[in-house]
Amino acid sequence: MRYASHIADLVGNTPLVRLGRVADGVAATVLAKVEYLNPGGSAKDRIASRIIDAAERDGLLQPGGTIVEPTSGNTGVGLALVALQRGYRMIFVVPDKFTGEKTAVLRAYGAEVVEVPTNVPPEHPDSYYSVSDRLAREIPGAFKPNQFANANGPRAHYETTGPEIWRDTDGRVTHFVAGIGTGGTISGTGRFLKEASAGEVVVVGADPEGSIYSGGPIHGYAVEGVGEDFYPDTFDPTVVDRYERISDAESFAMTRRLAREEGLFVGGSSGMAVVAALRAAEGLSGDDVVVVLLPDHGRGYLSRLYDDAWLDARGIHLDSSLTNGATR
């Protein structure tokens, strides 16, 4: 018989799917790596077991211990799968910007969720970084994975995501496009692909307007799970060849197009990444292969970017120039 011992054992080996309608007129082959097909629904599943394995090996996490992590939701789900498998208590600190479906999912897995204000700087005592630090100090046996500084994050993508893309494209990938949050996905995957191709693969970072990575003024934005107002230790800027700066309206319009035209029900950061991928593909030949990583499922965004009233309340208007396929 063929079966997995636990759902957490099924992480990885997600497929590549060619984008058709949204890439109409593009000569290059544009392939989406569909990470929402991981069991927890996102690319973050990949990092969880490696982070917990290392913590157990180093004596940082003991049987019956508690995992405390600041998260927008996806990392929490990945950690929850491993915690359930191994019997750990879970406490996730979540900015109130992300409450709703995402926190409901975390609670469904049995996690405790602590909600904190979104619009405070990282050093503020009420930020999700500071609150998670305090809880990790105060709770006996607590371990904070700290995805923003844990080298096992990019290492997981170097060891799995990159090799999968290289294998499934028969080494023909020429461009890799991904959003940047902690930077672990693009740093680990991009580094592997550059090494495998002797530096030939071009790595493109997709970044929301308002984030620090791509320059320009830093301000708030509505797309979730990407962008930052500081440079995490898990981000290696030497891997990224160039950046594409994407507005919320462009990201969300493309996200909706992916659902309607490609059958890919994804979150806003996936739409952002595809906009960047189509920009990267402009002018490329039929021999080029652009792989864009779609980080997560759309289930956590039904009351947000898929809700017209939510968009209107934030002044985000998806006009016909965006919904009909313009990428700039």
Q: What is the pLDDT of residue 325?
A: 54
Residues 6+ apart with CB under 8 A from 253: 271, 318, 322, 323
What distance lies between CA 292 and its chain's CA centroid?
12
Q: Are 244 and 206 in contact (CB under 8 A)?
A: yes
Q: What is the pLDDT of residue 328?
A: 47
Question: What is the rounded CA–CA span in Å between residue 290 and residue 139?
Answer: 46
CATH of domain 7-43+151-323: 3.40.50.1100
* Catalytically annotated residue among 33, 44, 102, 144: 44
Domain boundaries, the chain: 7-43+151-323, 45-143
Q: What is the pLDDT of residue 259?
A: 98
Assess whether the region 7-43+151-323 and the region 45-143 belong to the same CATH fold. Answer: yes
Q: Supply 230's token pair.
A: 């500081």
Q: What is the pLDDT of residue 123?
A: 86
Q: What is the pTM (predicted TM-score) of this model?
A: 0.93
Q: What is the pLDDT of residue 208?
A: 98
The sign of the CA dihedral 64, 147, 191, 17 is positive
- Say what the alpha-carbon torsion angle 141, 79, 122, 223 is, to the nearest 10 degrees: -170
Low-confidence ranges of the chain (pLDDT < 70): 320-328
Q: Supply 40's token pair.
A: 């927890």
Residues 6+ apart with CB under 8 A from 120: 126, 127
Q: Assess whether 44 carries a catalytic annotation.
A: yes
Q: What is the pLDDT of residue 118?
A: 86
Instruction: Give the SS3 label for residue 224.
Output: coil
CATH of domain 45-143: 3.40.50.1100
Q: What is the pLDDT of residue 322?
A: 61
Question: What is the rounded CA–CA span in Å between residue 301 and residue 268?
Answer: 8
